[in-house]
Amino acid sequence: MADVVGSGMTESHPTVDDPGGPLRVREAVADLLTGVTCLGCGRPGRLLCAPCRGALPTTAAPAVLDPVPPGLAPTWAAAPYDGVVRALVVGHKERRRLALRAPLADLLAAAVRAAAPGAGPVLLAAVPSRPAVVRARGHDPLGAVVALAARRLRHEGVAARVVRLLAPRGAVADQAGLDAAARAANLAGSLWCPHVRRLPATAAGSRLVVCDDVVTTGATLAEAQRALAAVGLPVTGHATVAATLRRHPSSGRPAPTGATSEPLPLPRADRLH
């Protein structure tokens, strides 16, 4: 979901470790000077206090998609896109609260563990953002979270590596208000793999996991999977920080995705300042 084509990276090397962005120090200092409160409980001190961080999920669950895009590899989400997790995603992505990168990386790492269990080699391919989006934000939120998640996994003994395989191609209309079928049509052909030849030979035998921050209909992940398959790279699974909850309020059944257009996800936005 996210910004139409998620938020990852687009150019040059197929492997990368820290696309943190030049604002890192400035933003961190600003947080220190202005004082912050916990996104979970409002306690002053940290953007996410220790108890609230400790209450975050440590395992992932299969994302519930209805309909499931045809052929979509198993898709995992560490949390529902709600409450504090939603505030973490938005605070990091839109407000550059870089201290939130660590808990987000923990959540994504949990999803990767579920998508590719065990210590065998795993390649993490982030869904890319359009370059203009990265420039406007001043950082590459998903790319940074994926890089840190890979580091977490390596510390646990998992041979995890980030690979810059996917890149956006062409213009994509805003996904907001589109149902699952319309999203899929809108996204068809929007991603490609220009750097696949740079994939090191040592990557052979690795499992490939596509990473995104939030899964909504699965259309973006399906497009990523299609682009990778087109260059001969089968996707083992998809790992996301969170999955949106789309239940029809009266029936309790999943609603068409366009029917419950999400308000801009800014719960506790006041506390993000």
Applying CB under 5 A, which residues contact Zn ion?
A: 38, 40-41, 49, 52
Give me the least distance between CB of 54 and Zn ion, in Å please. 9
Query: Rounded CA gap, 186 and 194, in Å?
Result: 20
Contact 142, 164 (CB under 8 A): no
- Residue nearer to Zn ion on the CB measure, 41 or 173: 41
Give me the least distance between CB of 84 and Zn ion, in Å please. 8
Give me the least distance between CB of 203 and Zn ion, in Å please. 40
Contact 80, 245 (CB under 8 A): yes
Query: Which segments of the chain are extended strands (E)?
Result: 61-62, 75-80, 122-126, 160-162, 167-168, 191-192, 207-215, 237-243
- Residue nearer to Zn ion on the CB measure, 49 or 122: 49
- Cα-Cα-Cα-Cα dihedral sign, residues 103, 90, 24, 195: positive
Query: 177 — alpha (psi -120 to 50), left (phi > 0) or beta?
Result: left
- Residue nearer to Zn ion on the CB measure, 97 or 164: 97
Give me the least distance between CB of 69 and Zn ion, in Å please. 36
Query: Rounded CA gap, 26 and 136, in Å?
Result: 16
- Residue nearer to Zn ion on the CB measure, 47 or 191: 47
Give me the least distance between CB of 89 and Zn ion, in Å please. 16
Give me the least distance between CB of 93 and Zn ion, in Å please. 20
Give me the least distance between CB of 40 and Zn ion, in Å please. 4
Contact 58, 233 (CB under 8 A): no
- Residue nearer to Zn ion on the CB measure, 37 or 129: 37
Write the CA distances from 255 to 1, 11, 67, 259, integer angstroms: 17, 37, 10, 7
Contact 251, 222 (CB under 8 A): no
Helix ranges, 94-218 (H): 101-115, 131-137, 141-155, 180-187
- Residue nearer to Zn ion on the CB measure, 49 or 110: 49
- Residue nearer to Zn ion on the CB measure, 48 or 146: 48
Structure-token pair, residue 210: 């596509």
